[in-house]
Amino acid sequence: MGRIGIVSYGAYLPRYRLNRAVIFKALEWLNPGGMTGEKAVSNFDEDSLTMAVAACINATDEIDRKKIEGVYFASTTAPYCERESAAIISEALDLNPNVRTGDFTGALKSGTVALLAALDYAKGGGGNMLVCAADCRLGKPGSSVELLFGDGAGAVMTGDENPIAVFEGAYSSAADFPDFRRSEGDKFVRASEERFIRDEGFAKIIPEVVHGLLKKLDLTPKDINKIGYACVYARDHATLGKKMGFEPGQIQAPLLAVAGELGAATPLVTLSAMLDEAKPGDKLLLASFGNGADALVFTVTEEINKLKNRTKLSKCLAAKKELTSYEKYLVFRGILPIEIGVGQDIAPTQLPLAWRERKTIMALYGTKCKKCGTPQYPPQRICVNPKCGAVNEMEPYHFADRKGKVFSFTEDYTAASISPPLIYSMVDFEGGGRFIFELTDCESGSVKTGMSVCMSFRRKYHDIERGIHGYFWKAVPVKE
C-alpha cells in the first residue's frame, strides 16, 4: 500500500448570491441584523444532492470515474430520509454498480466523518472513494441563521494512487453540544444563543481537537502552513485562530462573507479553497465542528502540480449572479408558496418505468449505432438515422459529460415553472445527438442560438404529495 490521502478535489457553489443587505431591506422591521456580505443560494432546481453531484463532477474532471469504488455523501439536508442519496449520486455519476455507498448525516461534522471513513477504507486496502458533502439549510425568515446559512458542496476523492495530499492523522471528539437542531417535520434549523455556541462550543471544542492532533503528530502550530476550521461566526474566526496559536497568514479565510455557513459542506469546501492555493510540502490542518469535531492533517505532494485544474473553488466564487429579490429566494427555497398555474400539478412518477430507464434518466445515457456511428438520445432500438435504420445494433452512449450547442430555443411563459419563463432548447451535442433540454442558470434574454452548453444534474420536480424528488439533466450555458 502506498501513501493514502486525497487524490483529487472539487467544489460547487450555486450561481446565485443573496447579499445580506437584500434580506435586511425586506426584514429590517423584524431583524435589524448586523451581518454583512453575501451567501450562496441554490437555484430552485438544486438541492444538496444535485450540488453534491456537481462537486463530484468537478472533483473527477481528470479521473476515470469507472475507477471509483464508492461514494460517501454527507449532509443534514438530504432530500430523502429513507432512500439513499449516495446511491442516487452514484447513478448520476454513472459509477460501477458494485460500489459502496453511504449517507452520513445528523451532524455538521458529518463531512469530515465521511472523509475519515473513506481514508479508513483506503487504509484497509480499498481504492478510490468519492466523498462529497453538501447542505442547503434553512433559517426561519427574520432569524440570524437565515443570514448565516449558505448553500454549497465540496468533494474529494481519497485513495492511495498518487495522492495530491497525504493523510497524516486525525483526532476526533464527540459531544452532544446543543448548538443547532432540526427535528422530524421541522423545515427550519433552530439555534441556541450565539454566545453559548461560541463560548461553550467551538471556542472549546475546535482547539481541543486541533491541539490534540498536533500533539499526536508531534507538531506545533508553526509546522502548519494553513489551517481551515468551521467556527460558525465570522467575527470569532480570527480570534479563535490566534487563540490556538496561529498567525493570521496561516489561517484560511472563512467563506462566511462570500458563501455563508455551508453546514456539513463547510470542511470540504474549505479544503478545496486550501488546495486551490497549496504548494508541495505544505501541511494543511482541517477541522470541522458540530456535535464534536474532527481534525485532520495532510501534507501536500508534488502530485498537486500535475492537476490541470487548480481553480476549483475560486471559479465557483467568481461565477456568480446577484439574486436581488428576497421574495424570489423564499420561493426558490419553498418557503413562500406560489401559484405556478392551475392544473399544472405534477403527474405521478411511474417508478418501475423510472427504475427500468434509470441509465437514460439519471446518467443521461443514449445509444450509438454501431453501423453508422450516430449517437441518439434517448436510447433507440432501431437507428434514427434515416439512411441507416439498423436494428439492434446499438451500444450505450454517455451524453452527460458532453458539451452541446443551442440549436434553437424558446422562452415559454405558459409552462409551469418556479422561475418563469421556462427556457428550453433543442441541444445538438458535440459528436452528434440531439434532444430538447430545459436550460437553467440563465435569464430571459441571455440565450442565443449557437451558444455552448454543458449538462447539469438538477431536480426536475418535487412531487410533495407523493414524496418524490424527480431528477434529470438540464443544460447550462457555458462561457467559451
Partner 1 sequence: MADGIKDKVAIIGMGCTKFGEHWDKSAEDLMVEAFQEALTDAGIEKKQIQAAWQGNQFTEVNIGQSALPLASTLKLPFIPVTRVENLCASGTESLRGACYAVASGACDIALAMGIEKVKDLGFGGLPRANEDIMVMGTKGRLIYPNWVNPNPGMFGMMALKYFERYGYSIEEGKRALAKISVKSHHNGSMNPKAHLRREITVEDVIKAPIISWPLGLYDCCGVSDGAAAAIVVRADMAKNYSPDPIYIKSMQVAADSGEGLLYTDYDYTHIEAINRCAIKAYREAGIENPREELSMMEVHDCFSITELVIYEDLMISPRGKAIDDINAGFFELDGKLPCQPDGGLKCFGHPIGASGIRMVYEIYKQLQGKADKRQIKNPRLGLTQNYGGQPPFGVCSICILGH
Inter-residue contact 150 to 16 (CB < 8 Å): no
Please give the distance of CA 147 from its chain centroid, rounded to a whole number.
Answer: 20
| 32 or 352: CB nearest partner 1 | 352
What torsion do the CA atoms of 7, 127, 11, 183 make, to the nearest 10 degrees?
-140
Closest distance of CB 386 from partner 1, Å: 5
44 near partner 1, rule: CB under 8 A: no
Q: How far is the CB of 45 from partner 1 (least distance, A)?
A: 12
CB atoms < 10 A from the CB of 8, how many?
26
Q: Is residue 217 a contact residue for partner 1 (CB under 8 A)? A: no
For helices 85-92 and 48-59, angle between their N-to-C axes, nearest 10 degrees: 50
Written as nine digits, the cell of 456 is: 447539469
CB-based contact 479:319 (threshold 8 Å): no
Backbone angles phi, psi at 17, to 5 degrees: -120, 135
* Position 416 contacts partner 1 (CB under 8 A): yes
CA distance 458 to 76: 19
Rg (CA), the chain: 23
Residue 151 is placed in which grid cell? 448553500
Taking the least distance from each CB to partner 1, the nearer of 201 and 433 is: 433
Residue number with CB closer to partner 1 (56 or 364): 364
Binding part of the chain for partner 1, among 125-133, 162-170, 179-187, 429-437 by CB under 8 A, reads: 429-437
Contact between 303 and 16 under an 8 Å Cβ cutoff? The reply is no
Count of residues interacting with partner 1 (CB under 8 A): 51
Specify the stretch interacting with partner 1 by CB under 8 A; choose among 226-234, 254-262, 313-321, 375-383.
Answer: 375-383
For residues 448 to 477, the per-residue mask of contacts with partner 1, x marking binding by CB under 8 A and - elsewhere, is: -x----------xx--------x-x-----
Subset of 396-415 contacting partner 1 (CB under 8 A) = 407-415
Whether a cis peptide bond, with omega within 30° of 0, leads into 379 is no
Q: How far is the CB of 132 from partner 1 (least distance, A)?
A: 24
Burial 273-287 (b: 16+ CB within 10 A, else e): bbbbebeeebbbbbb
Residue 361 near partner 1 by CB under 8 A: yes
Cβ contacts of residue 386 below 8 Å, gap of 6+? none
Report 54-113 residues binding partner 1 (CB under 8 A). Answer: none
Residue 50 found at the interface with partner 1 (CB under 8 A):
no
Establish if 418 lies at the interface with partner 1 (CB under 8 A).
no
Binding segment for partner 1 (CB under 8 A), chosen from 32-40, 253-261, 295-303, 356-364, is 356-364
Residues 335 to 354 in contact with partner 1, rule: CB under 8 A: 341-347, 349-350, 353-354
Q: Site residues (CB under 8 A) for partner 1?
A: 341-347, 349-350, 353-354, 357, 360-361, 374, 376-378, 380, 384-386, 407-417, 421-422, 424-426, 428, 432-438, 449, 460-461, 470, 472
